[in-house]
Structure 1
Amino acid sequence: MSAAAGRGSAAGSGSALGLRLAAMILVALLPLGLLALAQARQSQRQADETAMAASIGRTLQEALGEVRLIRASQITAQLLASVLRDDMAHCRTHLASYAAADPRIARAAFVPLSGRMECSSDGSAQDFTGLAHFARMRDARAPQIFSDPGWSSSGAVEISVVSPVATATGEPMGFVLISLPETAMTGGEMSARGGAERPLALIASNRAGEVVYASVGIAAAADYLPATRDLARINSAPPQSFADTTPDGMRRMFASVPLTHDLHLLGVWPLPRDGGFLGRNALAYLLPALMWLTGVGVTFLGVERLVTRHVRRLAKAMRAFGSDSRSMPELDLDNPPAEIASLAEAYRTMTATILRDEAELENLLRQKAGLLREVHHRTGNSLQLIASFLRMHRRETEEENIRAVLDDLHNRVMSLSTVHLGLYRMAGGADVEVDQLMAEVIGRVDQIYGRSGHKDAITADLHPLVLGSAQAVPLALLLAEILSCFPSGGEAGPPILIRLGPVPGAGNTARLEVSGPAAARARLTGEYATGEHAGAPAVIGARLIRGFVNQLSATMAVEDQGPRITVMITFTISHNRDDPDPAPAPQKADAIA
């Protein structure tokens, strides 16, 4: 693993040590913190329940004046009903007398079953038959209360208090109607009361859920009603207090109190100490939070003092050593714990051992490279000596067939010698710059076959390409063998074109192309070397070419282009270069066989 990979692995292995220990402290304190939060929440809930329970009594206390006025009006209506039942002849006198006794009464009237009012305290007449509530008021057998501008003499908002009138035998005669102006209930000021100890609104309604009075005005009462409950359902329940939201989304506390069978009071209050979950009792929630923060702070300080700063310096030294420069900064730890001091000493010993081992490995590699170069050098010299022997035998032989065989052997031995000497000059490493090796092979083969004296006999386009020795050696020998198949310099013909490089858009695939006179086809493929010529150099060359192609795991294609022929060798660049010194000679022998 490289140093960069090691750093990436360490960086992604997890959070810092201080954060991990702080998280452990938080987990350890979690039960105590949850208990403190639960106690604070329970205390807050009890305080809220107490405030809600007290809101019922406070609602009655705040609406005491309005309740007294409504109750007095209901009693007045009942008294008038009793008086009119016995003395209907003096109806207007009785109504005017009662209305004059209480200036808050706008009008007192008797409405018969026909709905046409003719007896009133102010002498006015009105027909109620087409108005809402009339049918219900006519059939009612108990006092009623509602608010409807249509029942008002002036068109202003009034509260209508109704009490039925019946004969001594119980036959209904009509009902007494007392109208109270809304301003009489609010004292002329219709606004939200609010304040820490005052309700936001007081709303009175009948059993059907109709608002008959509101301290903020009947028109604005809807803005203060609970959004999820209707008044009819609230009025059918016993006295209660609850929290709900108003239509504008504000969270409020509501207190419902029944006054009579047809009159209910609803108080709208701000939530106690409204300010959110924490703002309502910040101190109770602040204590466990401070406890957690203290634990985290102590953990961070302790870990930084005892562990983190030493580990940070040690990690910095490791990163510096793990870089390519192999630098070793001074590792100075200020009074570290015994365990970290032991770790630092182990690191110093390890780095010293690594440097010593790397120095020994570098020496071994240099020795191996030197030995490998010497092997290539001696192999090349030995092959040249063998070529000289073959040349001597060739001069002593007069038979042309034997001379042709010896010439072919001599040329192949010289090609192999050129490859080894080229590897020797390239320091004999596992990676070979094939373009340079190919240039040497081309020059040597060109000289062997007498092309060097001819201008533009061979044109080479060699792109930089690095291969392992296991591929570079057979590729160089393959090129030498292919070049040997083309006519020598003494034969007229077009120049030989050589191209080597990666295949565009094919990843790690490379290609060797050799193009020359078409006369080389027989020697390249061995198609016409049969019968008595089976052992001719053409057959051997074709077999060697196939053997080198197989050794490269490559594909070979031969294209005829009129007077020219092109050989294309396509192979995959191997990244496995663990065998830097292949033995091409046995594979060459196998190919010949």
Structure 2
Amino acid sequence: MTSGFLSTNIFRGLAFRVLLFLSLALLPIGLIAVVQTREIAEQNLENAELSLLAITEQASAKESSTIQEAFGAAAALASVVKLIKSDNVSCSAFMREYQRASDLYTVASFIQNDGRMDCVSTGVSGNVSGRPVFQKMIEHKSRMANVTSTPAQSKEPVLIVTNPLKVEEELIGFINLSIPEKVFHDASVPETGSQPIAMLTFNAQGDILTTKNGVEAAEQELPSFAALKWYVGQSGRVFHDANQQGQDRVYAVLPIVPGVAYAMSVWPEDSPLLQAGAMTTLSFVLPVAMWLASLVVAFWALNRLAIKHIRKLGRQMRHFALNRTLPRTPLGGVVPTEIVNMEHAFVGMAESILRDEASLEDNLRQKNILLKEVHHRVKNNLQLISSIMNMQIRQATTSDAKRVLQRLQDRILSLATVHKSLYQNDNLTRVDGGALMHEIVNQLLSVGLPSGSGVTVSQNYEAVQLDPDDAAPLTLLVSEAITNALKYVAADGKAKGHIEVSLSHTQPEMALLFVKNTTGNIDPEAGTGLGSRLINAFSRQLNGQVEITDEEGTYTLSVEFHVPLQAKEVYDY
């Protein structure tokens, strides 16, 4: 199914371009989805944080209500203590009655600035100036919440709520209410899908006030990045940090008494309440998944409806181009009409091409037949002329006339040989120069070299393809050269003679005609010089260079000429 896509030049393919434009079309929708998803993600994150803060607030409801109630009670007690602070007995009695009536506090007391505690619900006066809790009260001079395991009056660990007492803006002491820690141990965390690892409260100085699972365990879960007092003064917040052991945790902090006491819950990273982040990630991936799904469906449909059939049509065209075969089976019925119409147009065009090619082949065959007939008739006419000249030779009375007519007859027969080679060859535009020379030389030797002459002849011809325009002057040149060689090979008739003839390639587009013969006692006046002039003329027609050497009884003729690899262009005159 993917053969139309996973191929060479992938980026130029139809599938890639369609998918690219589809992606561009889906881009605005995708951007809108991403923006909406991001808004949903932010809302989910905010909801998750609010859920943690709400659970933390519910879990610390007991501490919050108790501490706030204690501060309210301390403020109310302060207004009464201002009036009776000078009467220690009355003040202590009032404190005792209030402590018994509330049933929440173990000790209610008024501590003066110097640490003296004469107004106390237990009736036992004392001095607490040396105790750490009092030192903190003197240092901060504000509402406070502290915890101590060794209180001065109570017999059990307590949480001390301190409210400063001022008269005309002057600090005169502190109202203290001691709340036993066991009150907070009875509080429980609300039932949810997940429970916090630790739940604690702390004061503005960063000291732990209460915990649900012990102080030591709570201290191990404190954030390692900053101390607890760093979060004092902030509104509710949720943050990620590692605990004291380096484990990732999620912390929720909110004030239960602003500026005085705060609650903190510690949650694992994989808490179900925090899975909104994972859902947010999934929601962010969803647009990308939908985009990929759209591309897959579009590619599948495009490949099934178009690319597969276009490739099949392309194979049909390639098969027709290679071996001229028409499709055996047309495209199926499920193929779109447009592609079926393309196939019909291709088949019609292919049939028209086959008819035109058949007509051209028939015309070419007729032309070749006519050309062969022309060459055949020209050869016959030249042979007829040769026969007439043969009659003239027999009737000639002088040897000079016979020799001239014989030479002319040889030239005519050479031309006839060229036309014979052309009509016997399937390729009418080129002729094998080696075969042509072999026939002409043998023809001249059979006539001009009598048996028993003692002259040896060696021939070596390569297949040099010639145009008809070059074949004619070459045959005439060879005829003149062989005639001269036969004439002078052994003029005295006594010495043994030798003739060597060859045609070879010197370069891909250069050929060399080589004729070499021995010479006897030659009469300088015997020749007329016509043969030499004809050789030079025919060499010029071949655009060749003639080189002749005559030394030590050896005569050599060589002509190097250009032979094009391709046939010359034929002009329509």
- Count of residues paired in the alignment: 419
Amino acid across the alignment from 1:289: L
How far apart are the structure 2 equivalents of 1:13 and 1:382?
Answer: 67
For 1:423, the aligned partner's letter is: L
Give the secondary structure class of the aligned counterpart of 1:460. Answer: strand
**1:406 aligned partner:** 405
* Alpha-carbon shift at residue 32 of structure 1 (Å): 1.9
Q: How does 1:27-38 map to 2 (within 5 A)?
A: 27-38=24-35
2:292 to 282, 289, 303: 289
> Deviations along 1:145-194, whole A, 9 cap, x unmatched?
xxxxxxxxxxxxxxxxxxxxxxxxxxxxxxxxxxxxxxx9965997xx7x
For residue 500 of structure 1, what is the amino acid of its counterpart? S
User: CA deviation digits over 1:350-371, x for unaligned, max 9?
Assistant: 3333333222222221211111
TM-superposition CA deviations, 1:527-586 (whole Å, max 9, x none): x99xx9886322222222222236xxxx5556789746362524242424442999xxxx
Residues in 1 aligned to 2:551 and 2:226: alpha-carbon distance in whole angstroms? 108
Shift of 1:373: 1.1
Q: Determine whether 1:538 maps to 2:532.
A: yes
Retained in 1: the 8 A contact 2:465–2:563?
A: no
2: CA distance, partners of 1:468 / 1:253? 97
Q: CA deviation at 1:420?
A: 1.0
Cα deviations across residues 115-157 of structure 1 (Å, max 9, x unaligned)? xxxxxxxxxxxxxxxxxxxxxxxxxxxxxxxxxxxxxxxxxxx
Q: Which residue is equivalent to 2:387?
A: 388
Question: Cα gap change, 1:577/1:547 in structure 2, threshold over 3 Å: closer, same or farther?
Answer: closer
Deviations 1:380-402 (A, max 9, x none): 12222223333444444455555
CA distance in 1, matches of 2:426, 2:354: 25
The answer to whether the 8 A contact 1:470-1:577 is kept is no
Partner of 1:331, secondary structure, is coil
Of 223, 228, 233, which residue of structure 2 is paired with 1:202? 223
Contact 1:430 1:468 in 2 (8 A): yes
**48-57 or 435-444, which deviates more:** 48-57
Q: Is the 8 A contact 2:456 2:497 kept in 1?
A: no
CA contact (8 A) 1:408 1:537 kept: no
Confirm or deny: 8 A CA contact 2:512 2:559 kept in the other structure: yes
User: Structure 1's 440 and 487: CA in aligned 2 closer, same or farther, altered over 3 A?
Assistant: closer
CA apart distance, 1:36: 1.9
Q: Is the alpha carbon distance of 1:359 and 1:77 closer, same or farther for their aligned partners in structure 2, counting shifts above 3 Å?
A: same
* Counterparts in 2 of 1:425 and 1:292: CA distance versus 1, 3 Å: closer
Q: What displacement does 1:324 show? A: 2.8
Point out where structure 1 has 5 or more consecutive residues left out of the alignment. Answer: 1-9, 63-74, 84-96, 104-183, 194-200, 207-211, 214-237, 523-527, 583-593
Structure having the higher Rg: 2
SS at match of 2:543: helix
Distance 1:482 1:28, change over 3 A: farther
Provide closer, same or farther for how the CA distance between residues 478 and 298 of structure 1 changes in structure 2, counting only shifts above 3 A.
Answer: same
Q: Displacement, 1:421?
A: 0.9
Could you tell me which residue of structure 1 aligns to residue 570 of structure 2?
579
Q: Report the counterpart of residue 543 of structure 2 in structure 1.
A: 549
Q: With structure 1 as the length reference, what TM-score do the two structures score? A: 0.51
Tell me if structure 1 keeps the 8 A contact 2:498–2:517. yes
Structure-2 residue corresponding to 1:368: 367
> Residues 533, 435 of structure 1: CA spacing in aligned structure 2 closer, same or farther, 3 A cutoff?
closer
* Contact 1:451-1:489 at 8 Å conserved across structures: no
CA distance in 2: counterparts of 1:44 and 1:577, whole angstroms:
81
Q: 3-state DSSP class of the match of 2:428?
A: coil
- SS of 1:517's equivalent? strand
Match of 1:493 in 2: 497
Which amino acid letter does the alignment assign opposite residue 30 of structure 1? L
Residue 447 in structure 1 maps to residue 446 in structure 2: yes
Please report how far the alpha carbon of residue 468 of structure 1 lies from its aligned counterpart in structure 2 after TM superposition. 4.5
CA contact (8 A) 2:547 2:558 kept: yes
**What does residue 348 of structure 2 align with?**
349
Inter-CA distance 514–343: structure 2 relative to 1 (3 Å threshold):
same
CA distance in 1, matches of 2:238, 2:470: 92
Deviates more, 1:565-574 or 1:331-340: 331-340
Question: Quick check: 2:375–2:423 contact (8 Å CA) kept in 1?
Answer: yes
Q: What SS does the corresponding residue of 2:320 show, helix, strand or coil?
A: helix
Residues 1:366 and 1:33: Cα distance change in structure 2 (over 3 Å): same
For the Cα contact (< 8 Å) 2:546–2:559, is it kept in 1?
yes
Which 10-residue stretch deviates more, 49-58 or 334-343?
49-58
2:45–2:277 contact (8 Å) kept in structure 1: no
1:565 aligns with 2:556: yes
Distance 1:407 1:494 in 2: 23
Mapped partners of 2:424, 2:277: distance in 1: 90
Judged with a 3 Å threshold, the aligned counterparts in structure 2 of structure 1 residues 313 and 558 are, in CA distance, closer, same or farther, namely same
Aligned-pair identity in percent equals 23
Query: Amino acid of the residue matched to residue 377 of structure 1?
Result: H
Residue of structure 2 equivalent to 1:511: 511
Seen in structure 2, the aligned counterparts of structure 1 residues 81 and 511 have a Cα distance that, compared at 3 Å, is same
Question: Partners in 2 of 1:572 and 1:477 — Cα distance?
Answer: 17
Q: CA deviation at 1:449?
A: 3.6
Q: 2:126 corresponds to which residue? A: none
Return closer, same or farther for 1:82/1:253 CA change in 2, 3 Å cut-off: closer
Q: Distance in 2 between matches of 1:365 and 1:55?
A: 95
Contact 1:556–1:569 (CA under 8 A) maintained in structure 2: yes
Aligned to 2:66: none
Please report the TM-score for the alignment, with normalisation by the length of structure 2: 0.53
Checking the alignment, whether the CA contact within 8 Å between 1:468 and 1:574 is kept in structure 2 is no
Aligned match of 1:139: none
In the TM superposition, what whole-angstrom CA distance separates every residue of 1:301-323 from its partner, at most 9, and x where no partner exists? 4x24xx853x4554444333333
Distance 1:462 1:500 in 2: 5
Q: Contact 2:489–2:497 (CA<8 Å) still a contact in 1?
A: no
For 2:372 and 2:331, the matched residues in 1 are separated by 46
- Distance, in Å, in 1 between the alignment partners of 2:551 and 2:253 is 106
> How far did residue 289 of structure 1 move?
3.5
Inter-partner Cα distance in structure 2 for 1:251 and 1:477 = 107
- Separation of aligned partners in 1, 2:24 and 2:434: 65
- Judged with a 3 Å threshold, the aligned counterparts in structure 2 of structure 1 residues 417 and 328 are, in CA distance, closer, same or farther, namely farther
Stretches of structure 2 that go unaligned for 5 or more consecutive residues are: 1-6, 60-129, 139-150, 158-213, 230-234, 491-495
Residue aligned with 1:318, SS: helix
CA RMSD of aligned residues (A): 6.2
| Matched position secondary structure for 1:40 | helix
CA 1:371–1:434 in 2, change beyond 3 Å: closer, same or farther?
same
- Aligned pair in 2 of structure 1 residues 517, 313: CA closer, same or farther (>3 Å)? same
Structure 1 residues 286, 490: CA separation in 2 closer, same or farther (over 3 Å shift)? closer
C-alpha displacement at 1:457, in angstroms? 0.3
Conserved 8 A contact 1:460-1:499: yes
Q: Structure 1 253/579 Cα, relative in aligned 2: closer, same or farther at 3 Å?
A: farther
